Structure 1
Amino acid sequence: MRPVLFFSLAAALAATTTATAQENNDDKFVVSGSIQSDVIIPQEDTEIGAKKYNEWALTNTYADIAARSNHLDAGLRFEFTKHPLPGYADTDKSFKGWGVPNFYIKTHFDKFDLTLGTFYEQFGSGFILRTYEERSLGIDNSLLGGKLVLRPAKGVQIKALSGKQRHYWKWNDAWVTGGDLELSLDQWFRGFQENNTYLTLGASWVNKYESADEDNVMVPGASYKLKFPSTVNAFDVRANLQTGDFSFLAEYAWKTQDPSFENKYVYRTGRVGMLSASYSRKGFSMLAQAKRSDNMGFRSARSVTGLSSNINNLPAFTMEQTYTLAALYPYATRSDGEWAFQGEIGYKFKGRYAPSFKLNYSHVFDIDKNFSKGPHYDGYGYGSNGYGSAFWKIGKSFYRDFNIQYEQKYSRDFKLNFMYMNQYYNNDVLTAIEREDGAHVGDVLNHIFIADAKWKMTRKMTLRGEAQYMKSSDGKDYQIFKWNSNGAQGDWISGLLELSVLPNWMFTVSDLYNAGETKHHYYMGSVTFNYGAHRLQVGYGRTRAGFNCTGGVCRYVPASKGVTLSYNYNF
C-alpha cells in the first residue's frame, strides 16, 4: 500500500504543479545526472593481508538522474553494490544489493517546498538530525517520507518532516519525525544590515517512534528484560551572530532516555553543547571552538551499530587531514561523550610572493564518569542511568594534534608547502590496534614532517611532488619528543609524484613504506584521462589497512591489492 499511496500522491502533485507551470510560458525543463563507478580487480597478497575474493571484480556503482523545472523536480538513483569494494560489507552484509533505493518528486514555490520520496536534511549543526550521503564511507541514511518547507514571512523558515530511515537495502521500522524553525532577525531590522550584522535564531525538535516490544534484552545475571521507551525526543536551540569580521555560534541539544546497544542499554539522557568564535579579515584569521557531548548517540534502530541508522551527527573538532601520513591515525567522534577543543590562527604576509602560516591545535578528552552499580555490560549498568558526570570535570585524553603549515609561492611557476604535525593517539580507547607481531600497543605519539612542491614546467605541464616522514613512538607519558620506536606500526615514509598534462592527462606514482618492523611497501601507480564531462582513472597497486574518515566518521578499510578503475561522468 505504501508504494501505491506514494505514487498516487506524487501523480496528484505532478498534475497540480504541471497545470500551474503551464500558465508560465517561461517554465524551463532541465535534465541532469551523473555516473560514478569504482572497480577493483583484486589480487591476494599475504604479505600485507590482502585476502582472496571469490569474485573476479568488485564495484560500487551509482547512477543519478534528475529533471528540474521552475516548480517541479523529480529524480532517482540506481545503485549496484552486489559485489562491493573491500571493507564495505565486512561488518554488515546488508550493504550488498542493487536497485533504486532513492527516488523523489519535489515542488517548489516562493512560499513553500514539498518533497515526497527520499530526501536529506540537517537541523543546525546536525546534533539531533543530519541525513546525508557519503559514498567514500558507505553512508546513505536518507529518509523515505515527506518534507515541507514553509517561508510564510520575510526572515522566517519552518521545516516539517516525517519518514523511515534507510538501512542499506531496507527501511528501519522506526518513524523519524521533526520540525525546525529559523528566524533571520537581520531581515526584520534595517539597522542590522546597515551595520553589517546578521543574527539567526533556531530551534528544532526530532521524535523517534520505535516499537517497545522489539529487541528485548535480557539483563546478565538477572531474570528480567529491559523495558524500552517507544518514543525518544530530541531538542536543539542555537544562535548564530555575524558582525563585521567576527562570527559566533552557540548551540545546545538534549535527548530523552534512549537505551541502545551503542550506549550499553543505559537510561541516561543525552546532551551536547558547542561554542564557536571566529575572526577573519584580509591576511589574518582566528578560530576557537569548544564542545561537550554526553550520550548523544541517536539511531533509528536501537540494536544497530556501525555507520548505518544514525539520525544525528556530532562534528569533529580536529583538523581535516588530506596528506597520507597525517591521516594515518584519524580521530572519530565518540558518541558516548567527549570534551573537544580546537583553535586555529592563520596569517599571510603582504607581498606578491609572501609566505603564509597556519597553526592549528586540537585536543579531545573523555568526560569524567562515575559508573552505577548493578548488572554490568562493559562497565555500564544495564537498565540504570549508567553513570554520573560532573559538567566541568575532564577525563583522560583521547586525542591531540598540533599542526604548523607554511606555504609560499617563490615565483610564478614554483610553490612550496611545509607541514609539521605532532599527534597523540590513545590507541587503547580509539581503535585498539595491535602490531603485526601481535604485541599490545598503548598510546602512540607521532611526529610527522611533510614537504609538498608544485612546479609549472610549461604552459601545459605541471609536476607536483610530496615527501612525508612519520616518527612513531610510545606516547604514554606525553613527552613531546620521545624517539623510541614502540609505536603501533613504527615509522613511515611516503612519496608521491604527479604529472599533469593539459588538457587531458595525469600520471601519478606513489609509495607508502613502513620503515619499522614490517618493511612493507604500499606502491601505487595510476593514469587519469579527462575528456569533457568524462573522467577515467586506471591504476595498480597496494592499499594499506586503516581508517578512512570524513567529518569525524570513520570506516575501516582492509588491505587490498589489484587493478583499480574509476569512471565519472556528469551531464
Structure 2
Amino acid sequence: MKISLKPMALCGAGLLAFVANAQESGRKVVLHGSVQSDVLIPEEDEKIGTGTYSDWGLTNTYADLNLMSKYVDAGARLEFTEFPLPGFEPDFKGWGVPHIYVKGKLKGVDITAGDFYDQFGSGFVFRTYEERSLGIDNSLRGARVNVTGLKGVSFKVLGGLQRRYWDWSKDSWVGGADLELNLEQYSARMRDKNITWMVGGSYVLKHEKDEDIVVPGTNYRLNLPEMVSAFDVRSRFQKGDYSLLAEYAWKSQDPSFDNGYIYHRGNALMLSGSYSRRGMSALLQVKRSEDMAYRSQRSMNGNSVFINNMPAFAYQHTYALAALYPYATQAAGGEWAFQGEVGYNFARRTPLGGKYGTKLKVNFSHVRSLDKEDVDAAVGTSLYGTKGYKSKFFKVGGETYYQDINVQMEKKLTKAFKLNLMYMNQRFNDAVIRQEDNGMIKSHIAVAEGKYQFNNKLTLRAEAQYLATKQDEGDWTYGLLELSVLPYFMFTVSDMWNNGESNVHYYMGSVTFNYKAHRLMAGYGRTRAGYNCSGGVCRYVPATRGFQMSYNFNF
C-alpha cells in the first residue's frame, strides 16, 4: 500500500473548513464529482497468451469530489489501484489521495494551490493531463496564478513538482509562464470584419539535480545540464471561414534516456490551415519535430513524467480493425508529419445527395523520418555525450513511418436506416513504431456500419469489418451487433477473428444499464494483446479473458 496520510488529513480538514465557511457566509456551494471503477475477474487462457494471475480480481477505481463557490473551489481524488488492470507499470500500483487542490477566484484572477493540469499552446513545451486508459497523470503539485481579467490578455505562471504515479520527485522542479494576446480586442475594425488574431508565447524551465551517467565502455561521466529551457511562440489568425495557425518551439540541450544522452537541441514547427462553411470543410497541416521528448526526470522511460506532448498527425480511428495498428508519435527521434482532410455534404434532393443527403470525408496522413547525419564519432560503444547528429531543416528523410488514406461516407437510405462505409489503406512501420520485426505492414481495411431505428426506444446497430494484410498476423474479420433499448439497456456481442495466422476468435458479450447519472456495464470475453493509443501516446495492453465490469456515476 502506498498512501500519504498527511495530504489526506490536510485535504479533509481544508474541505470541511471550506464548506463551513461558505455555509456561514450564506454563499451557495455546489458539490459535484464522479466515481469510475473498472473491474476484471481474469481467467487464464493459453491460446491467447494471458499468462498467470496472482489476484482473483483487478480494478482501477477513482472517486472525485469537487466543491465550488463564487470565490473558492476545492477538490480531491481518491484512487485505488492496489490491484491494477493488466498492462500498467509496476509503480502504478497503490492507493490514496494523490490529487488535492484549492483555488481562489477574484476579479479575473485565480490562484491554485495543490495539484493541477494545464497546457501552453498546442502542448509542444508544456502539457499536464490525465488519461486513465493509458495510466497517465503527470499533474504538477505546486501553485499557479491565472490572469484573465485584463482586456485581450491571458497570462499564467506556474511551478511545482511533477507526479509520477505515487511519487513527486524532490530532485526535479518544473516552472513556466504563458502569455496570449487577442489583438482584435484592441481594434474595432478587426471585429467589424469578423477577424480574430491571437499571438502568444511560453517559457518552461526544468531544474533537475545531476546524477551519475557513465558512457558505456568507458569511465567517463556525463556533465549533465541542471537547467533545461523550452520556448514556444504561436499565432492564430481567423477571418470568416478561414483559419491559420503557426507555432514554433525550441528546447535547449537535454541529454536523456529518450535521445540516448546526446547533447542535441530540440525544435518543432507546425503550420495548420483550415476552411469551414456549411456543407464543406478542409484542413491541411504539417509538422516537423526533432528531439522534443521533454521529461522532468531524464532517466525515466515509458509514458511517465513528460512535461510536454507532441500531438500525432494521424486520424484517430474508433473502428476496431482501423485502430489495430495505431501510430505513436516519435517525439525523441523526430518526424515530418503531414495531414489533410476534406469533408463535403451533398445536399438533399441532388443526384449524389438523394432524398436525405450524403456526407463524404477523405483523410490523408503521412509521417516520415528526418534526414539525419551523424556528426560525432561514437565514444566507447555509444553516442553518449556527443551532439549525436545534424539534420537539414527542410529536407525530408527517406523512411516512411506511417501512412493512412481513408474515405468515409455517411448515407441515410430511409427514414429509419443509416449506413456508414469506410475504406482505408495503411502503411505501418513496425520496426519504428513498436520496435518489432515485421517490416512495413501494409493493409487494406473495409468497414460497413448500419443503424436501424425501429422506434423511439429500439435501435439495432451492426458493424462488419475486414483487414487484409500479408504481414504480421495476416487477415482479420470483425463483427458486432448492438441493440439499444432506451432509456435503460444496451446489449452488445462482437467477435474479432484472426483468419490469417492464428485462427483465434476474440469474442465479447456485454450488457449496459443506464439510470439517471449511473452507468453499469457487465461483460465477458477475450481481449487481444495490442496497443491502446490516444493523441499519439500508446500503452501496451496484454491479452485477457474474463468477466469485466465498469461503473460510472456523475453528480
TM-score range, shorter chain: over 0.9
C-alpha contact (below 8 Å) 1:221/1:375 kept by paired residues:
no
Partner-residue secondary structure (3-state), 2:184: helix
- CA–CA separation in structure 2 for the residues paired with 1:441 and 1:428: 7
- The aligned runs of 1:72-91 (5 Å cut-off) are 72-89=72-89
- The aligned runs of 1:459-478 (5 Å cut-off) are 459-472=456-469
- CA–CA separation in structure 1 for the residues paired with 2:88 and 2:98: 17
Cα distance per residue 1:8-62 (max 9 Å; x no partner): 9x969x88x969x987x6x321001110000000000010111220100000000
**1:423 pairs with 2:426:** yes
C-alpha contact (below 8 Å) 2:532/2:538 kept by paired residues:
yes
Partner-residue secondary structure (3-state), 2:118: coil
Counterpart selection for 1:210 from 208, 211, 216:
208
C-alpha contact (below 8 Å) 2:215/2:380 kept by paired residues:
no
Q: TM-score, normalised by structure 2?
A: 0.94
CA gap of 1:203–1:22, structure 2 versus 1, over 3 A, is farther
**1:489 pairs with 2:473:** yes
Partner-residue secondary structure (3-state), 1:136: helix
User: 1:482 maps to which residue?
Assistant: none
- CA–CA separation in structure 1 for the residues paired with 2:324 and 2:67: 41
Cα distance per residue 1:163-210 (max 9 Å; x no partner): 000000001231000000010111111111111110111000000000
- CA–CA separation in structure 1 for the residues paired with 2:380 and 2:486: 59
- CA–CA separation in structure 2 for the residues paired with 1:38 and 1:18: 36
User: 2:162 maps to which residue?
Assistant: 165
Counterpart selection for 2:251 from 255, 267, 277:
255
Cα distance per residue 1:60-85 (max 9 Å; x no partner): 00000000001110000000001100
Percent identity of equivalent pairs: 54
- CA–CA separation in structure 2 for the residues paired with 1:242 and 1:376: 50
Deviation of 1:127 (Å)? 0.2
Q: Tell me, which stretches of 5 or more residues in structure 1 are unaligned?
A: 434-439, 473-484
- CA–CA separation in structure 2 for the residues paired with 1:238 and 1:169: 35
CA gap of 1:3–1:158, structure 2 versus 1, over 3 A, is farther
User: 1:399 maps to which residue?
Assistant: 402
User: 1:180 maps to which residue?
Assistant: 178
State the superposition RMSD in angstroms.
Answer: 2.2
**1:143 pairs with 2:127:** no
User: 2:510 maps to which residue?
Assistant: 526
- CA–CA separation in structure 1 for the residues paired with 2:144 and 2:254: 25
User: 1:543 maps to which residue?
Assistant: 527
User: 1:366 maps to which residue?
Assistant: 369
**1:511 pairs with 2:508:** no
- The aligned runs of 1:67-106 (5 Å cut-off) are 67-89=67-89, 93-106=90-103
- The aligned runs of 1:258-273 (5 Å cut-off) are 258-273=254-269
Q: TM-score, normalised by structure 1?
A: 0.92
User: 2:352 maps to which residue?
Assistant: none
- CA–CA separation in structure 2 for the residues paired with 1:278 and 1:22: 52
C-alpha contact (below 8 Å) 1:316/1:551 kept by paired residues:
yes
For 2:242, the aligned partner's letter is F
Deviation of 1:7 (Å)? 5.7
- The aligned runs of 1:339-418 (5 Å cut-off) are 339-351=336-348, 353-375=356-378, 381-395=383-397, 396-418=399-421
Deviation of 1:371 (Å)? 1.6
Counterpart selection for 2:438 from 425, 437, 441:
441
User: 1:436 maps to which residue?
Assistant: none
- CA–CA separation in structure 2 for the residues paired with 1:141 and 1:441: 33
Cα distance per residue 1:453-495 (max 9 Å; x no partner): 00001221100000000011xxxxxxxxxxxx2x111000000
**1:65 pairs with 2:68:** no
User: 2:351 maps to which residue?
Assistant: none
Deviation of 1:417 (Å)? 0.3
For 1:356, the aligned partner's letter is K
User: 2:550 maps to which residue?
Assistant: 566
Cα distance per residue 1:190-232 (max 9 Å; x no partner): 11111111011100000000002x2x11112222100100000
Runs of 4+ in 1 over 4 A off after TM superposition: none
